Amino acid sequence: MPILAIPFTPGGGVRVQVQITLGRPEVLRRRQAGLAIPQPLSIVALLDTGAERTCVDPSVVTRLRLPPSQPGFILAPGATGGSPVFGGSSLTFSYEAGLVILHPIIKPPSNLIVHELEVDELPLLAFGIEAVIGRDVIASCVLVYDGPSASATLAY
């Protein structure tokens, strides 16, 4: 089981280097159609146990041309409030993607790879991140948050 030790600063949260990719079905579709497959985007993501799902900034969706999955509603602290009719939720879109959490020391076979993941679009650049990794991914890991030592451990 690979273990990733992550130092953090108070108020900055636990941030990891990740790559966002096209999801496996889209890669296969593009290969069969002879279309170009964009390189993965290396970005900074925040591990967030309070987030139900993984979210990416709209710029990530645009740069990778992620295929849309379905529209839906999202209620996100820090995001502009939506209509009271929808309980303050805002309309957002989901996209099919892939995710790789990069292990900085151990060789690539020790990266955490999620080949198929539905991600929500959420403006995140103002927070200094381009993605939030939610419980949809963290649920398959062991995450230990040690506040006094300002470090976290992610095992997968």
pLDDT digits (tens, 9 = 90+) for 50-73: 999 999 999 999 999 999 887 666
Are the C-beta atoms of 138 and 13 separated by less than 8 Å?
no
Query: Yes or no: is domain 3-155 CATH 2.30.30.90?
Result: no
3-state secondary structure of 137: helix
Are the C-beta atoms of 117 and 54 separated by less than 8 Å?
yes
Tell me the residue type at 77: P
3-state secondary structure of 120: strand
Instruction: State pTM to two decimals.
Output: 0.84
For β-strands 15-22 and 90-101, DSSP reports them as antiparallel
The pLDDT of residue 83: 47
Q: Please identify which residue in the block is written with the tokens 């108070």.
A: 10
- State yes or no: pLDDT of 85 exceeds 50: no
